[in-house]
Amino acid sequence: MNTGPLRVRMLGNFSISLDGREIDDSGNRSRKVWLLLAYMIYCRKRPISQEELVSLLWGDEEESSNPLNALKTMFHRVRTTLNQLDSAAGHNLIMRQGGSYAWNTEIPMELDVEEFDQLCREGAAEQDEERRLACYLQAAGLYQGDFLSKLASEPWVVPIAAYFHNLYLQIVQESLFLLEERERLEEAVAQCRRALEVEPYDEELYRHLLRDLIDSGLQSEAISAYEEMSELLFSNFGVM
């Protein structure tokens, strides 16, 4: 297997890249293949029992009279998917350990959710406002959408997605105040617009957006943004 680190993105679309090759969860590929792959990566610091994985994939469904054999078949499909990165990737990345499966943590990996979380923690601990802002802006740039958005209904995904979603909104709010203090209004407007794609009903984000557009002399854009917000809130919630 090639020596370059795996690059895994879970914020938004789920993708894995290695030395210029990439696979992702777009298209009509099996949802369960990507569910199993995501779970193995996110829980990679521990071996995972076959029973836990069967429950993850099928729950109370009667998938097969032999669920362990069905699980083997699913892992064969996962390994085949990983082999698109490198002919030996599937074999090298997923290991069998007795009655459990494990991700090979000796192979270097860069995971966007961990980088995002680390940057947020560094920013929160930073006393210097410029460095704090730099951490938050870098973190916000990593947030391309909610955690495993195509698997959002999975019970194990829900609390993790909520944690990262709320953390993203928190750092955006803090970075907006810092940008506005420095009169970096163009950047503040761009941050607002990106954040509203993630959380389109946040009135506080709209307040920042309207104020920053007006302070930038862009009154017509501010009016358009206000009308967009008003229509969105009224059509979805009946709120004026």
The pLDDT value recorded for residue 67 is 85
pTM greater than 0.75: yes
Residues of the chain predicted below pLDDT 70: 1-3, 28-29, 60-64
Three-state secondary structure readout of the chain: CCCCCEEEECECCCEEEECCEEEECCCCCCHHHHHHHHHHHHCCCCCEEHHHHHHHHHCCCCCCCCHHHHHHHHHHHHHHHHCCCCCCHHHHHEEEECCEEEECCCCCEEEHHHHHHHHHHHHHHCCCHHHHHHHHHHHHHHCCCCECHHHCCCCCHHHHHHHHHHHHHHHHHHHHHHHHHCCCHHHHHHHHHHHHHHCCCCHHHHHHHHHHHHHCCCHHHHHHHHHHHHHHHHHHHCCC
The pLDDT value recorded for residue 53 is 95
The pLDDT value recorded for residue 65 is 72
The pLDDT value recorded for residue 84 is 94
Q: 121 CB contacts (<8 Å, ≥6 apart)?
A: none
